[in-house]
């Protein structure tokens, strides 16, 4: 409570527990000179500085109790009488209590709290994740990617059925595109991140798909290769470039940090990232990249193809093929983080089809 100068010093008949005996004493209580004064029936006086008294928050009903220094207690059974006495004595409710007594203020506080939390989630958490990703050691990120790939291999993927020569041909085509793009960009350009290309058979569960994991692991499914290898082999380069964009911008790691922010902060404090490492695979399997992340990787893919002498419009064949598959299956299917799981909407087709 806050103290305001009273016009008078009214007295209140109350009960006093001295902290040594369980038997209450009838007292007269009044406030003056910054102190609470108590006078018992035998005329004994007790004085307590107001700043050391713990005053109860005002409510509609119930008895009132003020905690006194030394373990004592001042009690009154009638809330209305107590509140009238404190008000007349110059005691005012704290700002928090005054807000709680008004439903309009409570509603406003609730709206402000919701807005603040929404703002933190929309802008604050991504910003913290962007800053924190630079603090994750490369070895930890590679360990996370390795465990994530092991999780997928155990739960969703099987060994590739593609001939080894075909796998090597795709890997070599992509490596050559990277070399050409790097040569055109010049020595001042940021080097491409390290990556490891893995081919897997995903069956009908995932279908034609590709996805990137923290640490540089890029997975391409057999179904995706069969879909594009004959008619649009350069589209495979564009898809791998898109996934390399996710690696370059650490989208998987940033997404994992956002999902496990509490564990990440704890890991940074104590140097133990085991909780983060254990939880990332499930996060990556269930979450999806934001539109901003997808646009960023699309931009990487398009620029890489242009620098490598590949027309970005080859990606339109891929978008159309995926649209046909979704239409046939009656909706989107595939791993949420994968490139192929995102609709080939008009915006992306215009982006890759632009000259």
Q: Is residue 236 part of a domain?
A: yes
User: Based on the structure, what is the number of domains in the chain?
Assistant: 2
Task: Give yes or no: residues 201 and 276 share one domain.
Answer: yes
Statement to judge: residues 184 and 315 lie in one domain: yes
Query: In angstroms, rounded to a whole number, what is the distance separating the alpha carbons of residues 73 and 56?
Result: 11
**What's residue 64's pLDDT?**
84
**48 and 166 assigned to the same domain:** no
Q: Is residue 114 part of a domain?
A: no
Does residue 46 belong to any structural domain of this protein?
yes
Do residues 251 and 342 both lie within one domain? yes
Written as six digits, the tokens of 153 are: 């291999």
Handedness of CA 141, 146, 147, 148 (dihedral sign): positive
Predicted confidence at residue 12, as pLDDT, reads 92
Output the average pLDDT for the chain. 80
**Cα 283 from Cα 261, distance rounded (Å):** 12
Together in a domain, 151 and 251: yes
| Residue 143 and residue 200 in one domain | yes
89 and 160 in one domain?
A: no
How many angstroms separate the first and last alpha carbons of the chain? 70
The pLDDT score that the predictor gives to residue 230 is: 87
Residues 29 and 94 in one domain: yes
Q: Which residue has the higher pLDDT, 112 or 69?
A: 69
- 186 and 94 fall within a common domain: no
pLDDT in tens, 222-247: 999 999 988 899 999 999 999 999 99
**Section 303-325 average pLDDT:** 91
| Cβ pair 130, 254 in contact under 8 A | yes
DSSP letter assigned to residue 61: S
pLDDT tens for 31-64 read: 988 899 999 988 889 999 988 998 776 665 668 8
Q: Would you tell me how many other CB atoms lie within 10 Å of the CB of residue 71?
A: 10
For the chain, counts of helices (H) and of strands (E): 15, 12
109 in a structural domain: no
Domain boundaries, position 161: 136-353
Query: What pLDDT, on the 0 to 100 scale, is given for residue 33?
Result: 85
Residue 276 has pLDDT above 90, yes or no: no
Residue 116 domain-assigned? Answer: no
Q: List pLDDT tens digits, range 177-201.
A: 999 999 988 777 788 999 999 999 9
Q: State pLDDT tens for residues 146-182.
A: 888 888 898 889 999 999 999 999 999 999 999 999 9
Non-local (6+) Cβ contacts of 73 within 8 A are 16, 17, 19, 65, 66, 67
Tell whether pTM > 0.75: no
Q: Do 307 and 184 lie in a common domain?
A: yes
Q: Do residues 155 and 304 share a domain?
A: yes
């Amino acid at each position: 409570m806050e103290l305001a100068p009273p016009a008078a010093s009214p007295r209140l008949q109350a009960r006093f527990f001295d902290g040594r005996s369980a038997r209450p004493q009838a007292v007269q209580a009044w406030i003056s000179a910054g102190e609470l004064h108590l006078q018992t029936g035998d005329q004994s006086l007790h004085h307590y500085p107001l700043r050391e008294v713990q005053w109860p928050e005002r409510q509609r009903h119930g008895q009132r109790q003020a905690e006194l220094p030394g373990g004592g207690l001042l009690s009154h059974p009638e809330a209305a009488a107590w509140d009238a006495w404190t008000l007349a004595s110059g005691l005012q409710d704290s700002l928090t209590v005054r807000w709680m007594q008004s439903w309009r203020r409570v509603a406003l506080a609730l709206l402000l709290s919701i807005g603040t939390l929404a703002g933190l989630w929309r802008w604050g958490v991504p910003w913290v994740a962007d800053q924190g990703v630079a603090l994750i050691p490369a070895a930890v990120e590679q360990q996370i990617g390795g465990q994530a790939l092991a999780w997928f291999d155990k739960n969703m993927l099987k060994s590739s059925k593609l001939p080894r020569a075909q796998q090597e041909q795709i890997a070599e085509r992509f490596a050559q595109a990277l070399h050409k793009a790097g040569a055109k960009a010049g020595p001042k350009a940021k080097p491409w991140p390290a990556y490891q290309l893995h081919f897997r058979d995903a069956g009908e569960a995932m279908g034609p798909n590709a996805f990137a994991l923290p640490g540089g692991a890029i997975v391409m499914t057999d179904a995706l290769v069969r879909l594009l290898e004959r008619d649009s082999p350069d589209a495979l380069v564009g898809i791998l470039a898109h996934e390399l964009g996710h690696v370059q911008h650490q989208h998987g790691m940033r997404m994992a940090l956002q999902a496990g922010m509490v564990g990440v902060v704890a890991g940074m404090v104590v140097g133990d990232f085991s909780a983060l490492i254990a939880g990332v695979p499930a996060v990556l399997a269930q979450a999806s990249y934001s539109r901003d992340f997808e646009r960023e990787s699309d931009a990487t893919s398009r620029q890489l193809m242009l620098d490598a002498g590949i027309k970005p419009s080859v990606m339109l064949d891929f978008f159309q093929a995926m649209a046909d598959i979704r239409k046939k299956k009656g909706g989107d299917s595939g791993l949420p983080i994968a490139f192929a799981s995102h609709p080939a909407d008009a915006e992306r087709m215009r982006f890759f089809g632009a000259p």
